Amino acid sequence: MELSGGQILVECLKAEGVDVVFGYPGGAVLHIYDALFQQEQVKHVLVRHEQGAVHMADGYARATGKPGVVLVTSGPGATNAVTGIATAHMDSIPLIVITGQVPTTLIGNDAFQEVDNVGITRPCVKHNFLVKDVRDIAITMKKAFYIATTGRPGPVVVDIPKDVTDPRVMIPFDYPASVSLRSYHPTVKGHTGQIRKAIDLIINAERPIIYSGGGVILGGASSQLTRFARLLNYPITNTLMGLGAYPASDRQFLGMLGMHGTYEANMGMHHCDVLIAIGARFDDRVTGNLAKFCPTAKIVHIDIDPASISKNVVVDVPIVGSIKSVLEDMLPLIEEAGGAKQPEALTAWWAQIAQWRDMRCLDFKTNGDVIKPQYVVQKVWEITQGDAYVTSDVGQHQMWAAQYYGFDKPNRWINSGGLGTMGFGLPAALGVKFAYPDEEVVCVTGEGSIQMCIQELSTALQYHLPVKVVSLNNRYLGMVRQWQEFFYSGRYAMSYMEALPDFVKLAESYGHVGMRIEKASDVEGALREAFAMRDRLVFMDFQTDPTENVYPMVPAGAGLNEMILV
């Protein structure tokens, strides 16, 4: 069978089991769009801005564990996608981003809608390709999917010049069954000797803590992690990216750690004698001041990426491998050893943790009928029975969602942790809803973030993606305002939005339902009403307390034991 480059590309997507592409057409990708148009298996979601396309594919990937696929044109199409690509890169999300390019004969000529896309995206992809020959499309796509989804996952950009997909050039198509690269062999199996060393340290710990991150979710190792923690009866904390990998409602769970982590999680980190880091990367928002980080701990670190090990914090027992494989190797060894060896010390440690918990660091003060943002998130949790897919944008509302929506399952909490991309939440929610039309999908956002990708409300209507938007509208860029209050003597430089749209009318003009909620006593009723509208996108504009801050907080430069509680 002879096919054109555009047809080959579509056949590659089919062969990889791709059911949807998020994209936006343009000159350089017209041949590809023409090929997409003439088949039905691979669906296409037309976005309103390329950044939205990448975030949608990203949300889809985070919820399903499958790679997300994006198709955009050359030049501005590609540069608009860069923020989304960098977002996925920082959080290790597998994406295939196909970008059009000007014809090979014009590359380097400053042609219309030309950018050096391979050059621009190089620092924010796992890998990228420029395909200069139609005969290379199939093998390149095979490599792209392989690289994006194995090892530490990440986005792969495939840049395709227009002449490479020319419908007049037909060649035989054969999709390779497998691919191997001599320069790329991700380690899966952990080193047996290192595992034994780690087990010895782990079972003999007196004040242990498990610190697990997004790697557990990416590696599909949530059930192994849960068994591991329960077998040992050790306390566990999750990073922002790792929430849901261990059930939040479990008694061993201490909550999130880090800058806005719980008192018990951060104090547990600071005072532990053995730190078991699993699929986490010792990010600066987690560690606080490195010089004061876990001063008495021996550290075991399990990660699939050797470059994550001893990057920020030098560890005692590194294990490179997939989290699932390493934990599966560890579980029988712990069972053979009869579990943890220091029951008395562990009892004392749990007693200490109970005291820290008694500080009730997430309690917040109510103020008459003023809507507290934390209360809104708590109610969303109640009404969705803690089982919704929750995406967020970036800022205070993100932290409140992370703190007050207890995730019991993995892949349910979807946010831009590494890059901190405002505008992520709504398109990500649409991507999730596309994958799981029967599930409840909520985007927790603020009036600042939502305006960065608000045009995707239009996409939501076209493809009938009835997500629920919970906007915590405090009229301020809240996290900026909070830092200005704490560290800039209340000089609120450019953090107040004086002119905001009427979000109710805005939602309505996009064909959705808008609600404005001004009193705490109306919150629950409004939420129930909104969630009862299963088939409609409902935009809820909650007028929240403008001066509420996120607590607890570890100020920049402080150790994890030096928290501001309220």
Partner 1 sequence: MRHIISILMENEAGALSRVAGLFSARGYNIESLCVAPTVDETLSRMTLVTRGDEQIIEQIIKQLNKLIDVVKVQDMADAPHIERELMLIKVQALDNSRNEVYRLAEIFRGQIIDVSESSYTIQMVGPGHKLDAFLNALGAIPVVEIVRSGALGIARGPRGMAVPEA
Q: How far is the CB of 281 from partner 1 (least distance, A)?
A: 13
- The partner residues of 171 in beta bridges, in order of sequence, read 3
How far is residue 65 from each of residues 60, 61, 62, 148, measured CA to CA in Å? Answer: 8, 5, 6, 12
Nearer to partner 1, 127 or 135 (CB): 127
The DSSP secondary structure of 464-532, one letter per residue, reads T---EEEEEE-SB-HHHHHHHHHHSTT--TT-B-S----HHHHHHHTTSEEEEE--HHHHHHHHHHHHH
Nearer to partner 1, 148 or 399 (CB): 148
Nearer to partner 1, 36 or 130 (CB): 130
How far is residue 200 from each of residues 197, 342, 346, 555, measured CA to CA in Å? Answer: 5, 12, 16, 35
For the record, the structure tokens of 189 come out as 């199996």
d(CA 281, CA 310): 9
For the record, the structure tokens of 470 come out as 């919970």
Nearer to partner 1, 20 or 156 (CB): 156
DSSP structure class, residue 274: E
Query: From the CB of residue 375, how many other CB atoms can be counted at a distance below 10 Å?
Result: 20
Nearest to 164 by CA among 109, 227, 100: 100
- The partner residues of 275 in beta bridges, in order of sequence, read 209, 299
Site residues (vs partner 1, CB under 8 A)? 118-119, 122-123, 126-127, 130, 147, 180-185, 305-307, 309-311, 314
Nearest to 458 by CA among 427, 489, 495: 427
Which of 256, 267, 269, 479 is catalytic? The answer is 479
Nearer to partner 1, 147 or 327 (CB): 147
DSSP structure class, residue 372: P
CA 110 to chain centre: 36
Active-site annotation holds for 479: yes
How far is residue 111 from each of residues 30, 102, 452, measured CA to CA in Å? Answer: 17, 7, 30
Q: How far is the CB of 161 from partner 1 (least distance, A)?
A: 13
Which of 11, 16, 50, 456 is catalytic? The answer is 50
d(CA 441, CA 390): 6
Which of 66, 113, 170, 409 is catalytic? The answer is 113
Q: How far is the CB of 522 from partner 1 (least distance, A)?
A: 49
Q: Are strands 468-473 and 538-543 parallel, antiparallel or unpaired?
A: parallel
d(CA 41, CA 45): 13
Q: How far is the CB of 182 from partner 1 (least distance, A)?
A: 6
Active-site annotation holds for 66: no
Active-site annotation holds for 112: yes
Q: How far is the CB of 177 from partner 1 (least distance, A)?
A: 17
Tell me phi and psi for residue 442, to 5 degrees. Answer: -120, 135
Nearer to partner 1, 128 or 458 (CB): 128
Q: How far is the CB of 13 from partner 1 (least distance, A)?
A: 21
Nearer to partner 1, 308 or 445 (CB): 308
Which of 14, 37, 112, 462 is catalytic? The answer is 112
Active-site annotation holds for 197: no
Nearest to 519 by CA among 375, 383, 324, 313: 375
d(CA 262, CA 406): 13
Nearer to partner 1, 43 or 122 (CB): 122
Nearest to 463 by CA among 491, 437, 497: 437
Q: How far is the CB of 122 from partner 1 (least distance, A)?
A: 6
Nearer to partner 1, 30 or 118 (CB): 118
d(CA 269, CA 560): 8
Q: How far is the CB of 307 from partner 1 (least distance, A)?
A: 4
Measured torsion, CA atoms of residues 393, 395, 399, 404, in degrees rounded to the nearest 10: -70
Which of 126, 142, 162, 298 is catalytic? The answer is 162
The residues annotated as belonging to the active site are 50, 112-113, 162, 479
